Structure 1
Amino acid sequence: MPAPLWSSGQFDTFDSPPSVWPAFLTGQKASPVRVLLVDDDPHIRLVIAQELMADPRTLLVAQAGSVREGRRAIKQHDFDVLLVDLNLGDGDAFDLLGLLKSARPSAQAVVISVMENDEQVMRAFELGAAGYVAKNSWFRNYSMAVLQVANGGASITPNLARRLLQRFDRIHGAETKRRQPDEAERLSEREKEILRMVASGYTSAEVGSRLLISGMTVNTHLRNIYRKLQVRTRAQAVRFASLRGLF
Structure 2
Amino acid sequence: MTQIYPEPLEGAEVLTPHDDYTDNGFEMFSNPPSMWPSFLVGQRDKPVRTIVIDDDIHFVNVLLQELALDERIQVVGRALNFKDGKRLVRSADFDVLIIDLNLTDRSGDQLLELATAQKPGSHAIVCTAADQEQLVRQAFDLGASGYLLKHSWFGNYAQSILQVANGGAAITPHLVKRLLRRAEPAPDADLSIVTVPRVSAEQLSSREREVLRMVANGNTSAQIAAHLQISHMTVNTHIRNTYRKLQVRSRAQAVQSAMVRGLI
Q: Which TM-score bucket, shorter chain as reference?
A: 0.5 to 0.7
Q: Are 2:129 and 1:106 equivalent residues in the alignment? A: no
DSSP-derived class of the 2:163 partner? helix
Question: Which of residues 96, 99, 105 is equivalent to 2:111?
Answer: 96
Return the alpha-carbon distance in structure 1 between the equivalents of residues 189 and 43 of structure 2. Answer: 46
Deviation digits for residues 90-147 of structure 1 (CA, Å, limit 9, x no counterpart) = 1222121111122111110000011211110100000100000001325762111111
Q: Are 2:162 and 1:147 equivalent residues in the alignment? A: yes
Give the structure 1 partner of residue 184 of structure 2: 169
Residue type at the aligned position of 1:63: R
Q: More helix by proportion, 1 or 2? A: 1
Using a 3 Å threshold, how does the CA distance of structure 1 residues 170 and 179 change in structure 2: closer, same or farther?
closer
Deviation digits for residues 153-201 of structure 1 (CA, Å, limit 9, x no counterpart) = 1000110001111112138x95724159xxxxxxxxxxxxxxxxxxxxx
Residue type at the aligned position of 2:164: V
Question: Which of residues 65, 72, 93 is equivalent to 2:87?
Answer: 72
Q: Sequence identity of aligned pairs in percent?
A: 44
Residue type at the aligned position of 2:182: R
Give the structure 1 partner of residue 75 of structure 2: 60
Contact 2:163–2:170, Cα closer than 8 Å, also in 1: yes
Equivalent residues, number? 167
Contact 2:33–2:159, Cα closer than 8 Å, also in 1: no
Query: How far apart are 1:59 and its partner, in Å?
Result: 0.5
Residue type at the aligned position of 1:20: M
Residue type at the aligned position of 1:149: V
**Relative CO higher for 1 or 2, CA cutoff 8 Å, sep ≥ 6?**
2
Give the structure 1 partner of residue 31 of structure 2: 16
Give the structure 1 partner of residue 54 of structure 2: 39
DSSP-derived class of the 2:67 partner? helix
Return the alpha-carbon distance in structure 1 between the equivalents of residues 163 and 131 of structure 2. Answer: 19
Using a 3 Å threshold, how does the CA distance of structure 1 residues 174 and 52 change in structure 2: closer, same or farther?
farther
Return the alpha-carbon distance in structure 2 between the equivalents of residues 147 and 138 of structure 1. Answer: 15
Return the alpha-carbon distance in structure 2 between the equivalents of residues 73 and 87 of structure 1. Answer: 17
Query: How far apart are 1:17 and its partner, in Å?
Result: 3.4
Residue type at the aligned position of 1:104: K
Return the alpha-carbon distance in structure 1 between the equivalents of residues 154 and 57 of structure 2. Answer: 22
Return the alpha-carbon distance in structure 2 between the equivalents of residues 147 and 46 of structure 1. Answer: 20
Return the alpha-carbon distance in structure 2 between the equivalents of residues 17 and 47 of structure 1. Answer: 18
Return the alpha-carbon distance in structure 2 between the equivalents of residues 139 and 43 of structure 1. Answer: 13
DSSP-derived class of the 2:52 partner? strand
Larger radius of gyration: 1
Return the alpha-carbon distance in structure 1 between the equivalents of residues 165 and 190 of structure 2. Answer: 35
Give the structure 1 partner of residue 41 of structure 2: 26
Give the structure 2 partner of residue 159 of structure 1: 174
DSSP-derived class of the 1:31 partner? coil
Query: How far apart are 1:67 and its partner, in Å?
Result: 1.1
Which runs of structure 2 are paired with 1:152-231 in the superposition (5 Å)?
152-170=167-185, 176-179=191-194
Using a 3 Å threshold, how does the CA distance of structure 1 residues 146 and 176 change in structure 2: closer, same or farther?
same
Give the structure 2 partner of residue 218 of structure 1: none
Give the structure 1 partner of residue 136 of structure 2: 121
